[in-house]
Structure 1
Amino acid sequence: MEFNTVGVIGAGVMGVGVAQNLAQTGHRVVLVDVSEEVLDNARKELRTSLRTWAMFNPGKSADLSAVLEKIEFTTDYERLADADFVVENVTEDWGVKQQVYERIDGICRPGVVFAVNTSAISITRVGSATTRPERVVGMHFMNPVPMKPLVEVIRGYHTTQDTLDTAARFLAGLGKECIVVEDVPGFVSNRVLMLTVNEAVFLVQDGVASASEVDRIFKGCFDHRMGPLETADLIGLDTILKSVEVLYESFNDDKYRPAPLLKKMVAAGLLGRKSGQGFHSYA
């Protein structure tokens, strides 16, 4: 296997999903985060995610012990020295991402590709924090990662065709296809989705309709599996807010201004599924 050991940085919802998908497709995973508490929560999230995966894949194995056996949970970045490929999933904050890439650039082998799992941050900017910008590529996974067959791959200014080919082979090993797009804020998916979600929040804030009514309209009228506010709860309202703020800062366009209600909910800790309460309740 070309990618025997894969480093996954960030053990939040997305990082756990990537680690699970990798372990279930035979890869050894080094899952890195900043504290044992976060890693303990990741183990719990993994159990929940595997149960969900099993529900949607009847007849297929969802052996928790087999998956856990392939994942090393650690706070030691030096464990990434053996990684053949790295997927980074830390918070949508440039200061945090910059520190991560400056750190791993000196740990990982020169030819190792760094895949940036981001909603809106520039891949070219991330590449500038390394000595290998040509080996940095955007890899925007969707949640829940193990159940989504397509990944948005982003070409930074310096990203080579060889790196894109490597990324495509890596994703094929996870059972996924990819579409390559150019490096602009929000790329394709989130340039559209974040604007839609933010406008849906304004509708609730302005009293036009309730959250459940907004979602029902999108599901019933357009045959969407989830409404925009259910999608926001799944992604995490804090991630939504950070992404909208990046778009607002990048384009200097008022259409991306974050809804005050979105800011208020994040400040109150109402983050969606991961906190148990967002626009809908998950208690």
Structure 2
Amino acid sequence: MKNITVIGAGTMGNGIAHVFAQNGFKVTLVDLSTEAIQKGLSTIEKNLDRLLTKEKITEATKDTTLTNISTSTDLITGIKEADLIVEAATEHEAVKLELFKKIDAAAPSSAILATNTSSISITKIAAATHRPAQVIGMHFMNPVPIMQLIEVIRGYNTSNETTATIMTLSRQIGKSPVEVNDYPGFVANRILMPMINEAIISLHEGVAGVTEIDTVMKLGMAHPMGPLQLADFIGLDVCLSILQVLHHGFGQPKYAPCPLLINMVTAGRLGAKTGEGFYTYVPGSKELNVSPRFTK
């Protein structure tokens, strides 16, 4: 397995491309526009510069990593020689199903098709292809170059061979893979999202304020980031989508998203990426300020 195609040059996609390229794989980064690809490449270079500053890599490693990445705005061209295709497009079920139909039709018959989905059924995605045994989930954590975990998710028809290959490959790129089965939210988000939702409910019901809730979890539970700040970082729209998958998949009221979360997403307050969620964000600054909507 030498040639990797990553579909989607956004936050997750460029991080996945970075990690594979830094570990010696030839990577093709595919997106719909040249602008999206250039933005992704710029992010990769900035992240490599940070690693260089911290003396985690050498200048030669940076240069080799960038050399290992080629780009394409044409899906068919981008996947024609791939051994592994990792889809990191938007977290929207209809988009992924249509995309996997196209990938399946054009990719080499031996290629493994992986998705970075954080909640959508691997079994359902695999059913859109003619190679369900070769479809698997590779749920990377954000930021990809830093975080060690990959949830390797087996669909109902994923073969043992495919699973073993992806587990081995994950270790080759310096990650720690954990094999899980295909149920709503997998493991990470099945546990994480109800916690985030409960933090939002606590805020909504006036139990405590934004910084108070986050401080309790950081100092009391040794979490590196409070749940409300983490929700902003993930994207409130993504949190809502995952909770809806959990609620629909299990049919249990404990997974129902808080009305405050629904309202914030409807209003376009999606967290760090829009500049305001539970906190406000100034580009280029690490300072956090509680959103005016939550100050007394």
CA displacement at 1:180 relative to structure 2: 0.8
Deviations 1:213-267 (A, max 9, x none): 2111111001111111222122222211111111111112221112222222223
- Separation in structure 2 between the aligned mates of residue 129 and residue 5 of structure 1, nearest angstrom: 23
- Separation in structure 2 between the aligned mates of residue 233 and residue 41 of structure 1, nearest angstrom: 21
- Separation in structure 1 between the aligned mates of residue 257 and residue 165 of structure 2, nearest angstrom: 36
**Paired residue for 2:7?**
9
| Number of positions where the alignment pairs a residue of Structure 1 with one of Structure 2 | 280
**Paired residue for 1:130?**
129
**Paired residue for 1:96?**
95
**Paired residue for 2:288?**
none
Alpha-carbon contact 1:244-1:256 (below 8 Å) kept:
yes
Query: TM-score of the superposition, structure 1-length normalised?
Result: 0.92
Alpha-carbon contact 2:141-2:148 (below 8 Å) kept:
no
| Higher RCO (Cα < 8 Å, 6 or more apart) | 1
**Paired residue for 1:69?**
67
Q: Which of 57, 61, 65 matches 1:60? A: 57
- Separation in structure 2 between the aligned mates of residue 113 and residue 203 of structure 1, nearest angstrom: 43
SS state at 2:191 partner = helix
Q: Please state if 1:203 is matched with 2:198.
A: no
CA displacement at 1:142 relative to structure 2: 0.7
**Paired residue for 2:16?**
18
- Separation in structure 2 between the aligned mates of residue 162 and residue 127 of structure 1, nearest angstrom: 16
Deviations 1:36-80 (A, max 9, x none): 33223323332443345456x534236655433222232200121
- Separation in structure 1 between the aligned mates of residue 211 and residue 50 of structure 2, nearest angstrom: 23
Alpha-carbon contact 2:9-2:31 (below 8 Å) kept:
yes
**Paired residue for 1:155?**
154
Query: TM-score of the superposition, structure 2-length normalised?
Result: 0.88
- Separation in structure 2 between the aligned mates of residue 264 and residue 67 of structure 1, nearest angstrom: 42
Tell me: CA distance 1:48–1:235, structure 2 relative to 1, closer, same or farther (3 Å). Answer: farther
Instruction: Work out the percentage of aligned pairs sharing the same amino acid.
Output: 42
CA displacement at 1:12 relative to structure 2: 1.6
- Separation in structure 2 between the aligned mates of residue 249 and residue 148 of structure 1, nearest angstrom: 29
Task: Identify the range of structure 1 (169-178 vs 121-130) with the bigger mean alpha-carbon deviation.
Answer: 169-178
Alpha-carbon contact 2:132-2:157 (below 8 Å) kept:
yes
Q: Please state if 1:38 is matched with 2:36.
A: yes
- Separation in structure 1 between the aligned mates of residue 146 and residue 104 of structure 2, nearest angstrom: 31
SS state at 1:147 partner = coil
- Separation in structure 1 between the aligned mates of residue 185 and residue 112 of structure 2, nearest angstrom: 21
Look up the equivalent residue of 1:160 and give its one-letter code. S
- Separation in structure 2 between the aligned mates of residue 272 and residue 279 of structure 1, nearest angstrom: 7
Task: Pick the structure with greater CA Rg.
Answer: 2
Q: How does 1:77-116 map to 2 (within 5 A)?
A: 77-78=75-76, 79-116=78-115
Task: Identify the range of structure 1 (39-48 vs 200-209) with the bigger mean alpha-carbon deviation.
Answer: 39-48
- Separation in structure 1 between the aligned mates of residue 50 and residue 236 of structure 2, nearest angstrom: 21
CA displacement at 1:90 relative to structure 2: 1.5
**Paired residue for 2:193?**
194
Task: Identify the range of structure 1 (104-113 vs 198-207) with the bigger mean alpha-carbon deviation.
Answer: 198-207
- Separation in structure 2 between the aligned mates of residue 48 and residue 244 of structure 1, nearest angstrom: 33
Tell me: CA distance 1:47–1:205, structure 2 relative to 1, closer, same or farther (3 Å). Answer: farther
Tell me: CA distance 1:210–1:110, structure 2 relative to 1, closer, same or farther (3 Å). Answer: same
SS state at 1:30 partner = strand
- Separation in structure 1 between the aligned mates of residue 38 and residue 265 of structure 2, nearest angstrom: 24
CA displacement at 1:152 relative to structure 2: 1.1
Look up the equivalent residue of 1:32 and give its one-letter code. V
Task: Identify the range of structure 1 (201-210 vs 120-129) with the bigger mean alpha-carbon deviation.
Answer: 201-210
- Separation in structure 2 between the aligned mates of residue 256 and residue 117 of structure 1, nearest angstrom: 22
- Separation in structure 1 between the aligned mates of residue 258 and residue 43 of structure 2, nearest angstrom: 30
Tell me: CA distance 1:28–1:273, structure 2 relative to 1, closer, same or farther (3 Å). Answer: farther
Aligned-residue Cα RMSD (Å) equals 1.8
**Paired residue for 1:50?**
48
Q: Which runs of 5+ in 2 are unaligned?
A: 283-296
Q: Which runs of 5+ in 1 are unaligned?
A: none
Tell me: CA distance 1:37–1:59, structure 2 relative to 1, closer, same or farther (3 Å). Answer: closer
Tell me: CA distance 1:53–1:218, structure 2 relative to 1, closer, same or farther (3 Å). Answer: farther
Tell me: CA distance 1:186–1:36, structure 2 relative to 1, closer, same or farther (3 Å). Answer: same
Tell me: CA distance 1:42–1:256, structure 2 relative to 1, closer, same or farther (3 Å). Answer: same
- Separation in structure 1 between the aligned mates of residue 46 and residue 197 of structure 2, nearest angstrom: 28
SS state at 1:82 partner = coil
